[in-house]
Amino acid sequence: MHELSIALSLVDAVCEELPRLGEKVSIRRVLLRIGPLAGVSADALACAFEIASSDSPIAGARLEIEQADGRALEIAALKVVDAAADC
């Protein structure tokens, strides 16, 4: 439940970035940094992210989790492709 709420916040936070990434981009990967004190289970979050993102503009994006320090819970980077190139 807890990770699902965080996954939904994560999807919102990534979607907020979309306008500045250019037109018709697709997000391939979301690189997330999680600290041991963030109170978040990486496995549960990865599972929740699939569900939370499935019906969103970033559907299909994969979550990559990297260990960080302290309470960190931040999106470090996004791997993006221009959707037009895919056609």
Partner 1 sequence: MLPRIVEVRKNVLKKNDLAAAALRDRFRAAGVCVVSVVSSPGSGKTAFLETTLALMRSRYRTAALVGDLATECDAERLRRSGAPVRQITTGTVCHLDAEMIERALDGRALADLDCLFIENGGNLVCPASYGPGEQLRVVLLSVTEGEDKPLKYPTIFNSADIAVVTKIDLAEAVGFDHAALLRNIERVRPGMPVLPVSSRTTYGFSSWMALIARRIGDAQPEPTPVHIDG
Q: Is 78 in the site for partner 1 (CB under 8 A)?
A: yes
**Stretch 20-39: interaction string toward partner 1, x if CB under 8 A:** -x------x---x----xxx
The pair of three-digit structure tokens given for residue 26, joined into one six-digit string: 């697709």
Question: Considering only residues 43, 55, 85, 87, which one is a binding residue for partner 1 as defined by CB under 8 A?
Answer: 85
Q: How far is the CB of 39 from partner 1 (least distance, A)?
A: 4
Judged by DSSP in three states, 60 sits in coil
Q: Which is nearer to partner 1, 54 or 74 (CB)?
A: 74
**Going along 1-87, which residue ranges are E strands?**
25-34, 62-67, 73-82
What CA–CA distance (Å, rounded) separates 34 from 82? 28
Q: Is 66 in the site for partner 1 (CB under 8 A)?
A: no
Kindly report the CA angle at 53 between 11 and 47, in degrees rounded to 5? 100
Residues at the interface with partner 1 (CB under 8 A): 1-2, 5-6, 9-10, 12-13, 17, 21, 28, 32, 37-40, 73-82, 84-85
